[in-house]
Structure 1
Amino acid sequence: MVLMAATDAGLAPIDLARVITAIVFLGIGVTHFVPPIVRGMAAMVPAVFHGRPFSPVAWVWVTGVAEIAGGLGLLWEPTRAAAGIALAVFLVCVFPANAYAARHRDRFGAIAVPFWPRLAMQVLLIALVLWVGLG
């Protein structure tokens, strides 16, 4: 229904997907600065990354900035391709934290998506950001 309304208004499906993807990354990026969420995300940072070069909380902030920048970059044509590629690389780089959480579901609860579904979701997200960034 939304897709039909958007295409009737002259918005191509890829443009709609790009806007939705950008909004999602912007929204998720903003959550990286909400204290209760920051604490949970910081706990997901594997110990090997502590102090290399950032603290777990700083890693959360850095990834939040990256998601906000990537979302904004998708919306501006001159930066769209770079943003799509950067978001794909970003999704590969943050996967270790997701895998760590998946191995510790008792500690992280519902936010710890099991490994194989999370890996599949990550691959689909990578494909999506490349499609909306390069398409």
Structure 2
Amino acid sequence: MDAVPELATGLGDPVALARVITAVVFVGIGITHFVPPVVRGMAAMVPRAFLGRPFSPVGWVWVTGVAEIAGGLGLLWEPTRAAAGIALAVFLVCVFPANAYAAQHRDRFGAFAVPFWPRLALQVLLIVLVLWVGLAG
């Protein structure tokens, strides 16, 4: 497995370091999608258009958690790295409606509700980041 040598010896390379940090962050955030208080907050962010299509709000939270964990792990293994970077970029586009919905309802979502424009900028930066660490050699 390529991930172990990269973790042990490749961290002097800025791309490898960014890749590992990005992977750890995505796996960590993905894990939080299974913590009950976080699940409740995130489930409330699911826009009405997605309710029951095809998952319940909690189901959407779990699916997105699995996607984040899989994407993060995929960045660490060279054969899946490019696909993981692209999949995470698509994922970040797909989850943005929930973030925009939360931004419109800051009084209801508190810390989950990053204002729209900063969240959009962050989302674009994250997309650039996952593509960079996923596609860079």
- TM-score, normalised by the number of residues in structure 2: 0.91
Deviation, 1:9, is 7.4
Amino acid of the structure 2 residue aligned with 1:27 = G
Q: In the aligned structure 2, how far is the partner of 1:96 from the partner of 1:109?
A: 17
Q: Is 1:13 aligned to 2:11, yes or no?
A: no
Q: In the aligned structure 2, how far is the partner of 1:51 from the partner of 1:19?
A: 35
1:95-106 alignment runs, 5 A limit: 95-106=96-107
Query: 2:23 matched to which residue of 1?
Result: 22
Structure 1 residue ranges (4+ consecutive) displaced by more than 6 angstroms after TM superposition: none
Q: In the aligned structure 2, how far is the partner of 1:10 from the partner of 1:103?
A: 40
Identity across aligned pairs (percent)? 84
Query: 1:120 matched to which residue of 2?
Result: 121
1:47-62 alignment runs, 5 A limit: 47-62=48-63
Query: 1:66 matched to which residue of 2?
Result: 67
Deviation track 1:107-129 (CA, whole Å, cap 9, x = no partner) reads: 00122000000000000000000
CA RMSD of aligned residues (A): 1.5
How many residue pairs align between the two structures? 129
Gaps of 5+ in 2: 1-6
Q: Which moved more, 1:104-113 or 1:80-89?
A: 104-113
Query: 1:3 matched to which residue of 2?
Result: none
Deviation, 1:10, is 5.9
Amino acid of the structure 2 residue aligned with 1:61 = W
Deviation track 1:26-76 (CA, whole Å, cap 9, x = no partner) reads: 000000000110000000000110000000000000000000000000000
CA contact (8 A) 2:10 2:17 kept: no
Amino acid of the structure 1 residue aligned with 2:64 = T
Query: 1:93 matched to which residue of 2?
Result: 94
Amino acid of the structure 2 residue aligned with 1:102 = A
Amino acid of the structure 1 residue aligned with 2:92 = L
Q: In the aligned structure 1, how far is the partner of 2:22 from the partner of 2:35?
A: 21
